């Protein structure tokens, strides 16, 4: 059995709101308020004592200037402007066709103002993708808040955008043989192409460690060559270099699938009852996630697998032990936590769609990936209903929305006037 090791807690960088960026509060009035200036209503008879010297000095009692009030930050302004339903929608990432929204998907995104979208299936050229993503922005923007637009652009068999203008990206198993400098430079180039196409998030890199003895039996990662290496050290090096390259290009990343899919057999997209009976809290194989956080990833993605030695009663995506205890506690992560798909995935099919959203947020998560656009309204409804009946949950929802808006602000997707 693998012996657990302690992970070093990592403190996320504090991000200030756009209303706080270098601007000081406006000072109080520089003149004395008119109400404290002496009046001149006395009779106009001449002064009889020539030795007296006229003076403009006001009363000896000092005038207290108004206390300056700090203007609300950009994020605070947006939280106040968004209705509860619009806030809840900020937590749903709606799946749309890789080549752009279908008419049905457009109706959902426009009606619900989905906070994020992600591309399902293969897309077209860079120029056609840019046009399609402009339509997404037009449909989803609300109160100056634009959507996050995401794609699975890992490489190898998992590359959604590979038409004209997009480089063909090799699998992670190949990327992992490169030097860190080369991988960072290549990832930066791939990131620039995404940014040019209007895509702000790459749902990558895979931080899962697949032991060499399990590679051919590991359906979600090993069989698809999605891992950077079969040791924590090798995987961590690839994750760190990839994140840095994308960050250099201004594209957000999501290290996935915490706490790891390297030791399971089934693929949760197509199988249910997938279980990891090996991974423990503080496991050595968690190192690539810690390295991804240190490198500046934007999100941590949680798997839908059940980890019996961590929380046997809950899938990781619904587990406070995994999200609050391990991700936010052990790793010190203060940013956005996102699900693996809980819209179309077979693993969660038995869980009511609304519960998938509320249980995740209640466990400490933020963005819900929903591959089935038609479930978006159901998930938003459930979040709103839960927030209206439970003050504790409402506070969690607000905290989640704040983290999402902060991430958007970092990437220029929030406009404050």
Q: Quickly state the pLDDT bin for 65 (edges 50, 70, 90).
A: low
* Strand bridging mode 299-302 / 336-339: parallel
Cα Rg for the chain, rounded, in angstroms? 27
Residues 309-344 pLDDT 10s: 999 999 999 999 999 999 999 999 999 999 999 999
Residue 28 placed within a domain: no
Indicate the pLDDT class of residue 5, thresholds 50, 70 and 90.
Answer: very low
What are the tens digits of pLDDT across the range 169-186? Answer: 999 999 999 999 999 999
Cα gap 84→96, rounded to integer Å: 24
Rounded distance between C-alpha atoms, residue 202 and residue 209, angstroms: 20
Per-residue pLDDT tens for 374-394?
Answer: 999 999 999 999 999 999 999
Per-residue confidence (pLDDT) for residue 307, from 0 to 100: 98
C-alpha to C-alpha distances, 15 to 77, 134, 149, 410, nearest whole angstrom? 16, 27, 21, 8
Domains contained in the chain, number: 1
Residue 315 vs residues 8, 227, 258, 259: alpha-carbon distances, Å? 25, 22, 11, 11
Of the candidates 409, 341, 306, 387, which has an alpha carbon nearest to the alpha carbon of residue 74? Answer: 409
Distance, in Å, from the CA atom of 320 to the CA atom of 119, rounded to the nearest integer, reads: 29
Q: Are 129 and 199 in contact (CB under 8 A)?
A: yes
In a domain, 405, yes or no: yes
The pLDDT-based confidence of 11 (bands split at 50, 70, 90) is very low
pLDDT at 254 over 70: yes
* 43 Cβ contact list (under 8 Å, min separation 6): none
Q: Among 3-12, 240-249, 332-341, 343-352, which is the least confidently predicted range? A: 3-12
- In whole angstroms, what is the distance from residue 166 CA to residue 190 CA? 7
What is the per-residue DSSP string for 21-42? Answer: SSPPPPPPPSSPPGGGSPP--S
- Name the least confident of 70-74, 132-136, 243-247: 70-74
Host domain of residue 336: 72-410
* Section 396-403 average pLDDT: 98
Which single residue is written with the structure tokens 């009779």? Answer: 43
Residue 44 lies in a domain: no
Q: CA–CA separation, 198 vs 43, rounded Å?
A: 75
Q: For 103-126, what is the mean pLDDT?
A: 97
Say yes or no to pLDDT of 403 above 70.
yes
* 34 has pLDDT over 80: no
Task: Quote the pLDDT of residue 68.
Answer: 60
pLDDT given at position 363: 98
Closest to 110 (Cα-Cα) out of 82, 80, 147: 147
Of 45-54, 200-209, 215-224, which gets the smallest average pLDDT? 45-54
User: Which pLDDT score, from 0 to 100, does residue 193 have?
Assistant: 98
Residue 4 counted as domain residue: no
Q: Averaged over 247-268, what is the pLDDT? A: 98
At 72, is the pLDDT very low, low, confident or very high (cuts 50, 70, 90)? Answer: confident
Query: Six-digit token pair at 216?
Result: 């051919």
CA dist 21 and 150 (Å) reads 27
| Mean pLDDT computed over 70-97 | 94
For residue 70, what pLDDT is reported?
A: 67
pLDDT for the residue 16: 34
What would the two tokens of residue 186 be? 């290549």
pLDDT for residue 91 is more than 50: yes
pLDDT at 41: 38
C-alpha pair distances (Å), 396 with each of 36, 322, 366: 48, 16, 9
Residue 224 CA to residue 215 CA, distance in Å, equals 9
CA distance 94 to 366: 14
pLDDT value for 337: 99
Q: Do residues 364 and 337 lie in contact, with contact meaning Cβ atoms separated by under 8 Å? A: yes
- Spatial separation of the C-alpha atoms in residues 385 and 12, rounded to whole Å: 31
Q: Do the domain assignments include residue 326?
A: yes
Q: How far apart are CA 212 and CA 207, in angstroms?
A: 15
Q: Residue 299: which H helix or E strand, with range? A: strand 299-302
pLDDT of 64 reads 59
Q: Are 136 and 205 in contact (CB under 8 A)?
A: no
Q: Quote the pLDDT of residue 416.
A: 84
Does residue 22 belong to any structural domain of this protein?
Answer: no
Helices (H), ranges, 249-375: 287-295, 320, 353-362
Asked whether residue 42 is assigned to any structural domain, the reply reads: no
Q: Is the peptide bond before 151 cis (omega within 30 degrees of 0)?
A: no
Domain containing residue 212: CATH number: 3.20.20.300
Q: What are phi and psi of 153, to 5 degrees?
A: -120, 60
Position 47 pLDDT exceeds 90: no
Beta bridge mates, 118: 95, 150
Average pLDDT over all residues of the chain = 88
Beta-carbon contacts of residue 89 (< 8 Å; ≥ 6 apart) = 112, 113, 114, 115, 376, 380
Residues contacting 78, CB < 8 A, separation 6+:
143, 144, 145, 405, 414, 416
Q: Is residue 58 part of a domain?
A: no
Rounded Cα gap, residues 413 and 399, in angstroms: 18
Higher pLDDT, 234 or 14: 234
Cα–Cα distance between 341 and 301 in angstroms, integer?
Answer: 10
- pLDDT for residue 69: 59
CA-based nearest residue to 344, from 119, 151, 95, 178: 95
């Amino acid at each position: 059995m693998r012996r657990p090791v302690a992970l070093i807690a990592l403190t996320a960088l504090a991000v200030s709101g756009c209303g706080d960026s270098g601007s000081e509060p406006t000072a109080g009035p520089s003149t004395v308020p008119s109400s404290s200036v002496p009046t001149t209503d006395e009779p106009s008879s001449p002064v009889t004592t020539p030795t007296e010297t006229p003076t403009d000095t006001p009363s000896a009692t000092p005038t207290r200037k108004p206390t300056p009030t700090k203007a609300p930050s950009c994020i605070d302004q947006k939280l106040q402007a968004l209705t509860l339903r619009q806030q809840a929608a900020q937590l749903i990432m709606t799946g749309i066709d890789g080549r752009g929204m279908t008419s049905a998907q457009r109706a959902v995104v426009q009606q619900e103002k989905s906070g994020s979208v992600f591309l399902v299936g293969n897309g077209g050229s860079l120029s056609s993708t840019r046009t399609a993503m402009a339509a997404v922005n037009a449909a989803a923007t609300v109160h100056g808040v634009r959507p996050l637009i995401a794609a699975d652009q890992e490489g190898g068999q998992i590359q959604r955008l590979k038409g004209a203008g997009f480089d063909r990206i090799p699998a992670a198993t190949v990327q992992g043989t490169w030097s860190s400098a080369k991988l960072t430079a290549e990832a930066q180039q791939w990131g620039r192409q995404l940014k040019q196409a209007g895509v702000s998030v790459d749902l990558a890199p895979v931080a899962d460690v697949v032991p060499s003895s399990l590679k051919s039996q590991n359906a979600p990662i090993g069989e698809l060559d999605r891992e950077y290496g079969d040791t924590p050290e090798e995987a961590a090096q690839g994750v760190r270099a990839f994140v840095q390259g994308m960050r250099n290009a201004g594209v957000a990343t999501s290290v996935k699938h915490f706490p790891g899919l390297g030791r399971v057999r089934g693929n949760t997209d197509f199988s249910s009852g997938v279980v990891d009976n090996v991974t423990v809290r503080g496991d050595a194989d968690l190192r690539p996630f810690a390295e991804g956080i240190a490198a500046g990833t934007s999100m941590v993605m949680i798997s839908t697998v059940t980890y019996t030695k961590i929380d046997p009663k809950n899938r990781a995506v619904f587990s406070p032990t995994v999200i609050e205890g391990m991700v936010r506690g052990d790793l010190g992560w203060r940013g956005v936590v996102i699900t693996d798909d809980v819209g179309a995935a077979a693993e969660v099919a038995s869980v009511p769609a609304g519960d998938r959203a509320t249980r995740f947020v209640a466990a400490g998560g933020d963005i819900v990936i929903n591959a089935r656009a038609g479930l978006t309204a159901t998930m938003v409804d459930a979040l709103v209903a839960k927030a209206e009946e439970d003050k504790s949950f409402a506070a969690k929802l607000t905290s989640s929305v704040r983290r999402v808006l902060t991430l958007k602000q970092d990437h220029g997707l929030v406009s404050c006037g």
